[in-house]
Structure 1
Amino acid sequence: MKRIKFILPLIAGFMLFSCSDYLDINKSPNNADGNSVTPDLSLAAAQSDSYRNLTRRMNEYGNVFMNNWGANVNSFTGGYAEEFGIFVSNNFYDDIWDGVYRGTGLYTKIINHPAQGYDNHKAIAKICKAFYFQYLVDLYGDVPYFEAHQGVNNATPKYDDDQAIYRDLVKQIDDAIQTIQNPVAGTRAVGTEDCILRGDMDGWVRFANTLKLRILLRQSELTDQDTLDYLALEFQKLEGALFVEADVLINPGYSSGSDSRQNPWMNLMVELKKNSSNQFVYRNAFNFRRASAHIAGQLNATQDGRRSRIFAPVTGSDITGVIQGDQSALNQGGTAPLAISSLGPGLVKDNSQDGYMMLRAESLLLQAEAVHKGFLTGNAQTLFNQAITASFTTFGATGSGAYITNVNTIVGKGYGAPGATLDEQLEAIFYQKDVALNGINGAEIFIEYTRARKNGNPLIDENIPMPLNSTTPTDKKPRRLMYPISEYASNSANVPVQTISDAYNTAPFWFK
């Protein structure tokens, strides 16, 4: 894989034990003795660096491909040309690969650190590494894993089978949980150097269980006997487990003090300082992104109270979207509305706002799916309704009760819709996940959409339209990203050969 210098451990060596101090330090290109930087000093750097990829490029990729975001064609030209044309290549979102591998490498350094007494720090690193490696598999399939992150000792790691990686991720999560629940004498407590759960180890167990649930459900459409036996065993272990019950946040001390201290999502959207009227000064990234006509129609049709928090209404409470690939009606012959809804106050709040690692709503929808499929016991309808309530809370929206009553009459959007088939109930879970993670974790919802397209079941494929004038080898969206050019340059002996067609016709193992 691309050779990356691990520069954050040096800066971490000068830190105190708080997350916020991490943001005060400038990155240095110099090398440092990694063994002198103990896990408590490098955890904040690893968590913050890896989250940046999740909230920016991965979020953008998924929300555009889910047809949640359109472009402000009245003020910009040429934006999202690759996305709306669906011109997939080795350069297309290649920074996701580079960024996520860098982040997982930082966790590997913590896990392999020789210092004693940092078992809980290493357990957290294992959970976080599994969190991000799942996305590497979901987006690329086979990737370097077992030989990854060895630096000069192995600069050309082999590619591993994606299903084998998935199974090892579950093993690493189980190992982390065992470490946390069976502490040995001398284990150091985790404190504020943990930017996510602030040393709440019970919270880390919940997060680990929920991540494991997500990993298992991703492959739950497979029907081969080996997978069926494996899932039955692993789900049995999760029966009675505790899952995420509150939004899992990350905040190492975000503020408007400097670009490096600002929440990375907000740093993309707004200037550090507000204007004289105490209002945000928006950057081009904010001014360019607009609601798509597709998602606007979905949210308006159900009178979803979250719509005015995810996007800003032009007038009244409904939002106005633009068709992906459309042009301005002003001078380009298109049909785009003159005013299009921007990202809303539930997403763009403050320079210091928390980031989201995992939502309570997602946790509840995962549990609802597991119950729906018979993997866990419980009440899928109750979990579904609770997920909607939790999502309303996350966005700061009101009216969840009325919405739940209404949406549960709509097939494909409400779990309890009269006459809904099992597949349509599952479609409702997928739909609510799309809304709950809209603008927060685009990669997750597009990966779930890809999983839901397996064999056209549930039948949600036609509900998300292709951009205007887009063409692909299959007339559908890709199932995966292509390996970046950096891999062919630095690891050519191992990286699989791909064609553009492969992005549409091959997929991670869980799609097969």
Structure 2
Amino acid sequence: MKKFFLSIFAVSALVTSCASEDDIYNDDSLKAYEASGEYFFANAQKELVDQLTTPSVNLNVFRYFSQYWAATTYRAESRYDLTTRNIPDNHWDNLYAEALGNFKKAKENILAESKPALMSETEWNKKQQNRVAIIEILMVYTYQVLVDSFGDVPYSQSLDIVNTPLPKYDDDAAIYPQLITRLNAAIAQLDTSYGSITPSQDLVYAGDVSKWKLFANSLKVKIAINMADVNNSLAKSSIEQAYAAGVIESNTNNALLTYNTFAPNYNLIHEELVQSNRNDFVPASVFVDKLNSLSDPRRPIYFTPLNGTTNTFVGGNYGYQNLLPYNDSYSHIGDKIKEPNLPGVLIDAAEIHFILAEAAERGYSVGSAATHYESAVMASLTFWGVSNTDAIAYYNQAAVSYGTATGTWKEKIGNQAWIAMYNRGFESWTFFRRLDFPGIVAPASAYPVADGKIPVRLTYPSTEPNINGSNYQSASSAIGGDKLTTKVFWDIN
């Protein structure tokens, strides 16, 4: 039987297939008869990170939801018109078909592989356990993104197009505890004494099982903290258990996918802003002004200084056009952000420390809120290359330090998480919905569909009412209406 070897960045369309009554037609000589599951795993990783990283307004508008960027010409998305180019459809499809579909195919192919002749049965079984567990962990991650994006989504009947081509939507509040259960099972399977994914096919941790354990526990923290206001007992026990087992607390353990410096596998920000020579974005003034007020040392990294200056940063008006003179009137997206090999991030130390600070404030046994908050701020500064001297000076400002910054713990954590999550729009949006900080508001120019508010969910894909109408109607009714203003189950404040 012929073999077909895939690039680790091969298109994920290989998870789909054609059908015909003609046997010769179905016997496609070019299809991936014996493609290793690890190739599909690498494809799935990249598809997932691409979707969370890309600045394409056809795919990902979360930088707009967090008001990091403002538009220059095409301002529909910053005013929350999300259906003109089917943005929810693309987000849904990329996560279900491209990410989860590839993860499912990876698991199936890995389980179908035969033991190498020179490998013991024990070693093979342990390696298989590790590989399947790692896939399972990233599937859980992807399902969380889907729930946090839409609310009720297909879960128990998803990914089985043969038996359930029209899957029901599961209750988002019921999915979350199942994700915790799946994570616990996957963590229990991981054995650091044995191998896993081939290093070249694991684009995040190169097959390092010990780091995948940290990732899985960190993911459990991420999922659990969202449940704190609706299922405090499960949130508390899950976070305390994960923290005790070990989570990502150092940038050396960040879950990063490092892109190449060359086409077609460079960071999609570089592709959209540099290779495509697009001038669609400038930093939003609401964000720039916040960093200016703190003399934040990340400013020359996040943005370019105003033309002809070294330390002047000016943002554009969010929700409006920011046109001529484009080059000289505004700062622009920072050069580092546009580097072709800038890593895409799944989880980082800053994010986890901010969550642990919140958990500590909620009374969970995870250490000191002030310590985690400081560690979060410092981790972000260090990640972006700020010197230790400048980082310490920044944190010691009265407006930044946990003991002296104004506001409640939610405001302190929310404001600094907003700054740190720049370039991670989806996670920033999650912090905002859970903590209700920073105090950003919808622009006066927002479309009526947003009801004068920043969206708190994406509407379902436009195809669902026609293709999966009965299940769509049930889900829409269950969540209180398929609207941008309908909150996911954990967003109760």
Does residue 207 in structure 1 map to residue 215 in structure 2? yes
Q: Cα gap change, 1:292/1:319 in structure 2, threshold over 3 Å: closer, same or farther? A: same
Unaligned runs of 5+ in 1: 1-10, 16-20, 272-281, 454-459
Aligned to 1:296: 288
Which residue of structure 2 lines up, in the alignment, with residue 491 of structure 1? 468
| One-letter amino acid matched to 1:212 | K
1:120 is aligned to 130
Q: What residue in structure 1 maps to residue 443 of structure 2?
A: 467
Partner of 2:434: 451
Q: Is the 8 A contact 1:43 1:110 kept in 2?
A: yes
Partner of 1:109: 105
Which residue of structure 2 lines up, in the alignment, with residue 438 of structure 1? 422
Distance 2:323 2:375 in 1: 42
Contact 1:326 1:468 in 2 (8 A): no
Indicate whether 1:23 and 2:9 are aligned. yes
Cα deviations across residues 232-276 of structure 1 (Å, max 9, x unaligned)?
A: 33234224221112222113x6231x3x222333222222xxxxx
Structure 1's 152 and 71: CA in aligned 2 closer, same or farther, altered over 3 A?
Answer: same
The partner residue of 2:268 within 264, 267, 276 is 264
Amino acid at match of 2:165: A
AA of the residue aligned to 1:324: Y
Distance 1:438 1:488, change over 3 A: same
Task: Tell me by how many angstroms 1:35 deviates.
Answer: 7.9
Instruction: Determine if the alignment matches structure 1 residue 63 to structure 2 residue 68.
Output: no
1:160-214 CA-to-partner distances (Å, cap 9, x unmatched) read 1111111111111111111103878xx7564221110001111001011111101
Compared CA separation, residues 26 and 161, structure 1 to 2 (3 A):
closer
Q: Secondary structure at the match of 1:119?
A: helix
Residue in structure 2 matched with residue 367 of structure 1 by the alignment: 356
Query: Is the CA contact 1:92–1:482 (under 8 Å) kept in the aligned structure 2?
Result: no
**Alpha carbons of 1:266 and 1:144: their partners in 2 closer, same or farther (altered >3 Å)?**
same
**Letter of the aligned partner of 2:256 in structure 1?**
L
SS of equivalent residue, structure 1 residue 357: strand
- Residue 505 of structure 1, CA deviation: 4.1
User: Cα distance 1:445–1:53, how it changes in 2: closer, same or farther (>3 A)?
Assistant: same
Q: Classify 1:478/1:23 alpha carbon distance in 2 versus 1 (closer, same or farther; 3 Å).
A: closer
TM superposition shift of 1:231? 2.5
Q: For the aligned residues, what is the CA RMSD?
A: 2.9
Partner of 1:229: 233
The offset of 1:30, in angstroms, is 5.7
Change in Cα spacing, 1:328 to 1:289, as seen in structure 2 (3 Å) is closer
How far residue 43 of structure 1 moved from its aligned partner, in angstroms, is 1.4
SS at 2:346 equivalent: strand
- Cα pair 2:360 2:366 within 8 Å, conserved: yes
- Whole-Å Cα distance in 1 between the matches of residues 416 and 374 of structure 2? 10
Cα deviation, residue 327, structure 1: 4.2
CA, structure 1 residues 425+94, in 2 after alignment: closer, same or farther (shift >3 Å)?
same
Amino acid aligned to 2:491: F
Q: 1:87 to 1:239 in 2, by over 3 A?
A: closer
Residue 377 of structure 1, CA deviation: 2.8
Partners of 2:409 and 2:144 lie apart in 1 by 26
Shift of 1:39: 2.5
Q: Report the alpha carbon displacement of residue 216 of structure 1 after superposing the two structures with TM.
A: 0.6
Superposed displacement of residue 219, structure 1? 1.6
1:125-156 superposed Cα distances (whole Å, 9 cap, x missing partner): 11111111111101101100111111222211
Q: Does 1:240 pair with 2:251?
A: no
Change (3 A) 1:373 1:35: farther
Residue equivalent to 1:415: 402
Amino acid in the other structure paired with 2:283 = A
Secondary structure (helix, strand or coil) at the match of 1:234 reads helix
Q: 1:182 to 1:168 in 2, by over 3 A?
A: farther
Q: Deviations over 1:408-454 (max 9, x none)?
A: x22xx542216x55xx2222112221111212x1011112212223x
Specify the alignment match of 1:507 in structure 2.
Answer: 487
Alpha-carbon distance in 1 for matches of 2:197, 2:322: 57
Assess if the C-alpha contact under 8 Å between 2:240 and 2:366 holds in 1.
no
SS in 1 for 2:201: coil
Name the counterpart of 1:8: none
Partner of 2:371: 382
Moved more, 235-244 or 156-165: 235-244
Q: 1:196 pairs with 199, 204, 213, which one?
A: 204
SS of equivalent residue, structure 2 residue 67 = coil
The answer as to whether partners of 2:69 and 2:282 remain within 8 angstroms in 1 is: yes
Aligned to 2:319: 325
Partners of 1:501 and 1:188 lie apart in 2 by 44
1:265 and 1:123, CA in 2 relative to 1: closer, same or farther beyond 3 A? Answer: farther
CA apart distance, 1:297: 0.7
Q: 1-side partners of 2:136 and 2:447: how far apart?
A: 41
TM-score computed with the length of structure 1 as normaliser: 0.80
- The one of 372, 389, 393 aligned to 1:402: 393
Q: Distance in 1 between matches of 2:266 and 2:3?
A: 18
Check conservation: 1:145, 1:160, Cα contact below 8 A: yes
Contact 1:364 1:386 in 2 (8 A): yes
* Contact 2:305/2:311 (<8 A) preserved: yes
CA contact (8 A) 1:360 1:387 kept: yes
Query: Which of 343, 365, 369 does residue 333 from structure 2 map onto?
Result: 343
Quote how far apart the aligned CAs of 1:396 are.
2.0
Q: 1:64 is aligned with what amino acid?
A: Y
Aligned length: 450
Q: What is the DSSP-based 3-state SS (H/G/I as helix, E as strand, rest coil) of the residue aligned with 1:494?
A: helix
Preserved contact between residue 68 and residue 422 of structure 2 (Cα < 8 Å): yes
Separation in 1, partners of 2:196, 2:316: 53
Task: Tell me: CA distance 1:149–1:34, structure 2 relative to 1, closer, same or farther (3 Å).
Answer: farther
Decide whether aligned partners of structure 1 residues 389 and 30 sit closer, same or farther in structure 2, where only a CA change above 3 A counts: same
Q: Secondary structure at the match of 2:363?
A: coil
Q: Distance in 2 between matches of 1:167 and 1:13?
A: 40
Distance 1:491 1:379 in 2: 48
Instruction: Find the aligned partners of 1:26 and 1:501 in 2 and give their Cα distance.
Output: 33
Whole-Å separation in 2 of the counterparts to 1:168 and 1:359: 24
Matched to 1:326, the amino acid is: Y
Determine which of 329, 342, 345 is the counterpart of 1:356. 345
Would you say the 8 A contact 1:291–1:321 is kept in 2? yes
Q: 2:184 aligns with which of 155, 174, 184?
A: 174
